[in-house]
Chains A and B, each alone.
Chain A
């Protein structure tokens, strides 16, 4: 059974840093692209970052470029999102998700339950 378990969310002040983790199980972690998607309160979905399993390419939304970094540890089947220089507008539920494919992240067949990040002074 595929499972994705996010952790690391919480309350941070603007300018602070936070690292989210997503522990994956039930599939070959190294063979599939993995992504972080966020949803601000009452808003739509935003693909924050993606990591291709095929060629290591990464995608970042314009809103987080230069501030967020996606990474993964295949030895522990864990996906990370390092979030620096946090802004109030980064407040959202962050979902970890698995792609159906090794590279493209638009077909996400499994999702975690989400972790809430709140940025406020």
Chain B
């Protein structure tokens, strides 16, 4: 159960776009479309913002989008806003009812 690799931090100015990568292997991200992304503000429970690579739960702004290429999934935040400053985590199905989390990325709004 090795963690998926995410950049420790990304930053951007309000209105800009930022992308967070989530790199796994051909056993997890590369072999399944069950990749989800979570947003977590300090002291709060995580919030699901993307599921099944690119699905968006109701209530999640459309400036959040997901994609995947090969063994890497990505979360893009377009039109960055101050409230987007948070930690972001990815998780992927890894086969045979096994799951692996990303290491987490802190997004800073400059």
Q: How far is the CB of A42 from chain B (nearest CB, A)?
A: 11
Interface residues on B, range: 20 to 34
Among residues of A, the one whose C-beta sits closest to the C-beta of B58 is A109
Measured between alpha carbons, how far is A61 from B3 in the docked complex, in Å?
A: 12
State which residues 45-72 of A face B: CB under 8 Å. 45-47, 50, 52, 57, 59, 61-62
- Is the CB–CB distance between B97 and A52 below 8 Å? yes
B34, B87, B91: the one within 8 Å of A47 (CB): B91
Measured between alpha carbons, how far is A62 from B72 in the docked complex, in Å?
A: 24
Given A62-B1, A111-B46, A104 and B93 touching (CB < 8 A)? yes
Q: How far is the CB of A89 from chain B (nearest CB, A)?
A: 15
Among residues of A, the one whose C-beta sits closest to the C-beta of B103 is A44
Interface residues on A, range: 20 to 34
Among residues of B, the one whose C-beta sits closest to the C-beta of A55 is B97
A44, A50, A95, A114: the one within 8 Å of B99 (CB): A50
Among residues of A, the one whose C-beta sits closest to the C-beta of B101 is A45
B47, B52, B87, B103: the one within 8 Å of A107 (CB): B52
State which residues 89-108 of B face A: CB under 8 Å. 89, 91-93, 97-99, 101-104
- Is the CB–CB distance between B45 and A59 below 8 Å? no
- Please tell me if B36 contacts chain A, counting CB pairs below 8 Å: yes
Q: List 23 A-B contacts (CB under 8 A).
A: A37-B46, A44-B87, A44-B104, A45-B40, A45-B104, A46-B101, A50-B97, A50-B99, A59-B97, A59-B98, A61-B1, A62-B1, A95-B46, A104-B93, A106-B34, A106-B35, A106-B92, A107-B52, A107-B55, A108-B38, A108-B46, A109-B48, A111-B46
Q: Which residues of A contact B (CB under 8 A)?
A: 37, 44-47, 50, 52, 57, 59, 61-62, 95, 100, 104-109, 111-114
